[in-house]
Structures are given as structure tokens and as C-alpha cells.
Structure 1
């Protein structure tokens, strides 16, 4: 019995007396046409350095995620345990570079040749890892102030060649969970199909579930419209890529240095955002964007935001809406629209919203490809390390502007994501116990109820995985 890669329906596990060894293959590959061609000797040395300050282990982890794209697992450690002997090395030759893969997942090859899409994404991994490391080492990024961080996000996206001038706004960012049910997954495909019919490109977090569905639907619509220069952009970061391997449709992969720069990249390049049902990661994304939109400096900027899902998911968005209004005030609801079970209406509203964005940027002489006008404060940009102390110290009380409360609520969800699927976070939970989260009694009660619903609906982990909470909520 088999399932489509990335499907939310898993086959029944076949039980063996001992684990079946994973099939592997070894090969040397050159970049596909248009890929990364050359690296300096210093860059190659850094990528081969397996020491504490080297880049080899980061390269190995990200490359393994690409080679297992579509894997139905959200345990970052399980992937490494399944392929413990996997290795990747950079070979510098007179005619350019090659990648040497040892004991790589056999699923990435067909008749001894690496799949072309896998090839492209592997070299994208090399490109982004080495570029970010070299820029930081050379002082090319000013990461201590807000303009400097935005500049770094811009430069990484430009180096990845996802910023296209002289192209009308048409990029829709789709957020949603990796662990969604079959009906929700099919709904994301239907929405993607309607977006594709309207010549809209798709950007997601690059993983399975709601990150794959819109891309898959759009591919059919783009083919019907005979549209050939399509963009299916996947934006990820090192801490999450192993738990959410890129889905096979992604044709532009970008690895940002951390979750905050990943989130900023989404909102800077988006012309509209659609939110499908999800779990804590989706809640984190919602709070990040709404915290930015609640800032007075962004009051006049058009930013189309739609929450949508099938009829069966109506209660999910009702609960999200109640939580947002309770925590941030009813004013927050003017920044989003909820559309239930109507993919065509979602696409129509997105198309209208994108046109408003286009006109606004023409009137204000702003770029189509990067939202420079959006004010993002430093507290939304600085990387949050979800230690037990940092989680306990979050200010989750109402005696502050709503956008600042949203920033700390976002951090709370970010910490839970880390405890759920990121290797470092999972190890911290195993060593020190669960995160303790404190705050305003009413908000904490609502947060506890929201998280409990995510657990009950299996939105924390992929179906079939037993979820053990990594947090404890304290009200008062």
C-alpha cells in the first residue's frame, strides 16, 4: 500500500521484527543549468568544515531534508537516525563544483540519476548556507538595527533570485498546517487551482499539507492556462526544514537564517496572504502579521489577508477569531476576512486585493517585488531563543499596546513549535521539562483552550504520532 508523498493519509505501518534498513545510493552530481556554478576555496573549506564553527553539519541536515522531500514525518531527529551514514561533500574542480553524496536516500534517484528538482534544491541549499555565513563573517549584514535586518532579508532573497522587477504583483503567500486532515488538504488544492487560473503564483513554507496543496492545485490551473513561467516559492529555515521537508512542487527554495527573517521574507514579498487551518506554527504566523498590521505606522497600507477552509473547519476559524479578539481587541478583526468553503470567492477576493496593492504602490512609487513601506519593529525581527527562562518571562498581559502583546504571543507559539518539532527545542524539553507560560488570566484560559483544541484535532503532530505537550499554561 502506498500514498502520495506529502499526503495527510498514511498507510498502516508494516511491522517487522527488526527495522528495515533505508535504501541508499551514492553519486556525484553537477548543478542543473542555471544552478550554482562556482565557489571560492574559502567557501568550500567552510562547507567542508565539520568542526563546531563549520558549516558541514548544517549543510548535511538541510541536504538530507531535500533528498527526502515528501517524507511523512515531522520529527527532525528521526530523519537523521534513519540515514545515519549520509554525508555530502563539496568537490571543487576546474570546470566548477560538484556535490558528492554518500549513502543518500535512494528515493531521490531514478535509474541512477538524481531527480532534477532535487538537484536544483540541493544547490539552492548550498547557495543560501554559504551566502549567509560569508556575509555575516564579512560584516555584510548589520543585524543590530531594524533597517539592517530588513536589508539582510532583501539581500538573501535577491541572491536567491526570487525578487523580480518589472512584473505586476501576483504572489500569494499561503500559510497553514503540515498536519491537516484530508478534507482540508483537498480544499487547499481547490483554492490553489482557482488562484492559478487567475495567473497568481504561490509561496508557502515549502512543506507538506497546507504548504503543498495550494501549489499542487495551481500547477494544474497554470497548465490549463498554458502559463510556463510559474513560481512555487518555498521559504524555510534550518531549524524547521528537517521536520518539514520541501514538497516536490517547490521550484524556488530559500533558506533564511532564522524564523524571524523567514517571517519577514513572507510579508515583504507577499501581495496577499491566505491562511488555511493549522496548528501552533500557523498561529505564530497569524500573530506575527497582525502584530505588524496593528502598528499605527501601517494603518493605511493595503494588505489582503484571508482565513479560509472547508465547511468542516468553520469552527476552527471561529475559535481563532475569538482568541484574537479577546487578546488583541475587536479592532484586530478589520485586518482579515474569513471565507468558509468557497475557493472561487477566496481567489476573487485575493485578485481584488492584489489590484489594490498594485495601485497603492504605483501611487506611492513603491517596488512591486519587496514591501519596503511596511514598518516592522525590531522586536519582531530579533531572533527569539525559546529557552525555559525566556518562555517564562514573556509579557502576556494587556497593559501594553496590542501590537506589542501580539509580538510576545507570537514568541509563545514559536517556543511551542520548537518544543514540538525542532531538535534543539525537543532536547531542551527532555532535559528540563515543559515550558511554563504565564500571563493574563483571561488570555491564558483562552490560550489553553485553543492549544487543547489543536491537540484534539491532531494539529500538533502528523496523524499517527502521539503528542505529549511541551508546555504548561498558568493563568494569573
Structure 2
């Protein structure tokens, strides 16, 4: 890598980087296609994602903040005889030490180029992409291809724990996530999160210490993100395997296909979206007997948060959904023991079914959970939010509603949609909308919609409608 100072308001650097591992052995045709993927309509996306990984640790959850701080930043992927070269102009100086890019930042930057290029080439949706993205099996195959290309699928015993939770949790909750991560790491378990700060960083940080104590030298800290949210939740520096999925639905499927056990920490509407996604899948009759360790946990001060979540699930999805998870308050060791025991059941089940340890092929995921949902005022108004449908489909629609709120809060496209046309309207029958309104209001009251110190302006309005009549016999 070579670098030199650049002129900008904030300290910046011009640099030339030669990727190592994953991008260094490519054919000329592949390099040419990779370069094509970084130009035209793909270039702005590449630039935004690259800037996000180079500004890890930002205190803002506005996806436009880094672009405004570094308006002259640019990235170019160039062809070399035996690989690729990445040129950076006006790059954030925080990503460098004495003129050399921090190794972890460089690895994440290479992952950005790798995944966006793969998506542009293999998942373009054209006749030559080789993927049928209109079917459930085709989408699952696409997710598998993305993960395999990123080299995160490893044929080892089930030991990967997915940790979900908010990026703006309070200090006590953050410390608790580290304690849980520490206990998981002592039992030899690896961590996968959404790769950002808060509850996504804490478990990884705790696990690094216990992995060191157990002399685990190759601990895995996987981060799964997607272009719409990476700028608002830049990867934390502990992530050593980053994968950028093309949309939130493929990101969520990547979690449940690769993870072996799940821990949910306190969060906000994004965490509620993840909970509804996984419960909707588990409520499908074909998944009734699959072992799927799922624990909701937090310190004592988070007890009311989980009480409200549990109440909302019971009022909308019913007791059957509540039976699919366990709530453990203020006991990191109990959480780790529960997950460790649950992974033993997962191992036995996969072995009996001859299913892969590294990818849960047996899990049935309906197309409603896979098809990308683009939150617009029209699509949000048309959501089917009533109980006269199978519970797993109701969960799918609830998940979309919460996804729209996430978009309006932190995603660039969603923020612009709200600025242009006002708040989203979420319509449904009283049995659904009243619990939803109470839950969302509790998130606002607890400061879980935005980073502390900012005043939250709701991007949504809940509208109660008459209950639809039952279909004629």
C-alpha cells in the first residue's frame, strides 16, 4: 500500500491498496467484471459502503453523516495483470496509522468490494446470472452462494451463536452483552451479529477475552449487514469476517441458515423486526420439531422491555409463538448454559437428518419472508395486518411493518421517502394495531429509536381499521 496526505476539512489520505486473501487470485475476465461493477450505477453504492467501513466508530446513525463529512472521498477498482488494485482518494485518516491502512479496516474494505461485485455479477437478475430469484429455493441458493463466496461456510461442529440487539443501548445493557459474550466464549462458541455497535459489538468484545483465556486463536466474529444499513451501523473493529448481503431479507436468511443458536438483547424496532422474522419461520408447521435455541436476555433494568415484547407477541401471534423462546434476566451464565445445551440438540438433529452443520437446509422459509420489501407509503398502507390468516404469514407482514419503520429511521432511501411524503401510515385491525402502537410508543419512551441525546421524530402513524369480515363458506 502507498499513501500520501490529501487536502480536506478533516484529515484524509490518498492510498493504493493491494488486496490479500479472497481477491488476489482472479482471472482477467473476473477482474474486468469486478472493475465494471465499481463503475456506473454500482459506484455510488461501493463508495458509501467503503466509507462506512473506514469510519467505524462513528457516533451518528444518520446514513448521510459520513458522506457529508467526507464529500470528496472516492474509490476505484483497477485491473492488474494478476489481481486488482484499489485506489482511495480523500479517505478518512482515522483508517490509517502512520500512513498505513489498519489491517482490519483493509480486510473489511476488501469484503465490500468482493460482495458488491458478486452481487452485481451473480445476482443481477439478468438471463446470465444463473439464479432464479423468483422462487424460494432460488433465493436460498443465492444466499448460499454469497456465503460460500465469502468463505464463511465451514464444516465444523455447530458452535455459532447469533446475537441480535440494538445499536444504541445504554451502558448497563452494553456491559451485560459483553458478559454474555464472555460466557459464550468460555464454552468455545463463536459470535455472529449485525456487525455494528452496541449489542452487536458487546458479545464479540466479551468473547475475545474468553477465547484468549481458552487459547482459542481462531475465534470467529462474523458480521452480516446490507447496503441500506451499513452506513448507519458501520462494522465494529472486532468483526473479522464481514458479509454484505444485497437486502435485509437475504441478510436475515443468512443469519438463520448459518446460526446454530440465537440470543436477543434489548434493542428497538430493528430488533423487533428480527424477532418477528425468526418467530414467523418457527411458526410454520414444517419447522415445528426443528431444534432452534432462542433466548431473550438482558440486565434487570431491561426486564420491562422484554415483558412488553412478550406481551406483544402473545397478543398478536399467540402462545405457540411464546413457547419458541425463553426469557432469562440478569444471568449471563444461565444464558450460555442454555445455548450450549441447545447446540447439542442441534448437532444431534443435523446428524440424524444428514443435514449440513454449516447451513440449515432443513429450515422451511416461505417466499413471504424472502421477497425484498421496499417500504413506500403505498406498500406500507397495503400490509395485511389482521388475524384472519395463518400466524406465520401475520408474522411476515408484521415484520414488513417494522422493517418500514427501520427504513424511515436510519436508511437513506427511507429517510428521503419520509422527507418527501411525510410519515408512513400502518393500517390494520385493532387487535393488531393497538398492541403495535403501545410497543412502538414504549420504544420511543425508552429512547430506543435513536441514539441518546437526539429527539426522535416518528416516521410512522398507526391507523386502526375495522376487522375484515370472514370469507364466505
TM range (shorter): over 0.9
Counterparts of 2:32 and 2:81, CA distance in 1: 16
CA separation of 1:37/1:464 partners in 2, compared to 1, >3 Å: closer, same or farther?
A: farther
CA contact (8 A) 1:442 1:475 kept: no
Counterparts of 2:131 and 2:457, CA distance in 1: 39
Counterparts of 2:50 and 2:26, CA distance in 1: 18
> What is the aligned partner in structure 2 of residue 400 from structure 1?
389
* Structure 1 position 260, deviation (Å): 0.2
Deviates more, 1:40-49 or 1:152-161: 40-49
* Structure 1 position 436, deviation (Å): 0.4
Counting only pairs closer than 5 Å after superposition, residues 184-333 of structure 1 correspond to structure 2 as 184-333=173-322
Residue by residue over 1:15-42, the C-alpha shift from the partner in whole angstroms, topping out at 9 and shown as x without a partner, is xxxxx93221111111135554436353
* Structure 1 position 457, deviation (Å): 1.1
> What is the aligned partner in structure 2 of residue 63 from structure 1?
50
Deviates more, 1:425-434 or 1:455-464: 455-464
CA contact (8 A) 1:46 1:56 kept: no
> What is the aligned partner in structure 2 of residue 10 from structure 1?
none
Counterparts of 1:297 and 1:192, CA distance in 2: 32
Alignment counterpart, residue 94 of structure 1, candidates 59, 62, 81? 81
Counterparts of 1:445 and 1:116, CA distance in 2: 49
Asked if 1:127 is matched to 2:102, the reply is: no
Counterparts of 2:171 and 2:24, CA distance in 1: 37
> What is the aligned partner in structure 1 of residue 130 from structure 2?
140
Deviates more, 1:65-74 or 1:35-44: 35-44
Counting only pairs closer than 5 Å after superposition, residues 355-370 of structure 1 correspond to structure 2 as 355-370=344-359
Asked if 1:26 is matched to 2:14, the reply is: yes
Deviates more, 1:248-257 or 1:464-473: 464-473
> What is the aligned partner in structure 2 of residue 3 from structure 1?
none
* Structure 1 position 466, deviation (Å): 1.9
Counterparts of 2:319 and 2:391, CA distance in 1: 11
SS at match of 1:26: strand
Pairwise CA RMSD of aligned residues? 1.2
> What is the aligned partner in structure 2 of residue 351 from structure 1?
340
* Structure 1 position 474, deviation (Å): 1.2
CA contact (8 A) 1:36 1:124 kept: no
* Structure 1 position 78, deviation (Å): 1.3
Residue by residue over 1:289-329, the C-alpha shift from the partner in whole angstroms, topping out at 9 and shown as x without a partner, is 00000010101100000000000000000000000000011
Asked if 1:159 is matched to 2:146, the reply is: no
CA contact (8 A) 2:426 2:463 kept: yes
TM-score, with length taken from structure 1 = 0.93
SS at match of 1:55: helix
> What is the aligned partner in structure 1 of residue 5 from structure 2?
none
Q: Structure 2 stretches of 5 or more lacking a match?
A: 1-7, 466-473
CA contact (8 A) 1:35 1:120 kept: no
Counting only pairs closer than 5 Å after superposition, residues 21-60 of structure 1 correspond to structure 2 as 21-33=9-21, 35-38=23-26, 40-50=30-40, 54-60=41-47
Deviates more, 1:213-222 or 1:35-44: 35-44
CA contact (8 A) 2:123 2:142 kept: no
* Structure 1 position 368, deviation (Å): 0.3
Counterparts of 1:90 and 1:448, CA distance in 2: 47
Counting only pairs closer than 5 Å after superposition, residues 77-92 of structure 1 correspond to structure 2 as 77-92=64-79
SS at match of 1:90: strand
How many residue pairs end up in the alignment?
A: 453
Asked if 1:174 is matched to 2:163, the reply is: yes
SS at match of 2:323: helix
* Structure 1 position 337, deviation (Å): 0.1
Residue by residue over 1:260-306, the C-alpha shift from the partner in whole angstroms, topping out at 9 and shown as x without a partner, is 00000000001000000000100000000000000101011000000
* Structure 1 position 95, deviation (Å): 3.8
Residue by residue over 1:402-429, the C-alpha shift from the partner in whole angstroms, topping out at 9 and shown as x without a partner, is 1110000000000000000000000000
Counterparts of 2:301 and 2:136, CA distance in 1: 41
SS at match of 1:222: helix
> What is the aligned partner in structure 2 of residue 6 from structure 1?
none
Q: Structure 1 stretches of 5 or more lacking a match?
A: 1-19
CA contact (8 A) 2:159 2:260 kept: yes
Counterparts of 2:129 and 2:44, CA distance in 1: 23
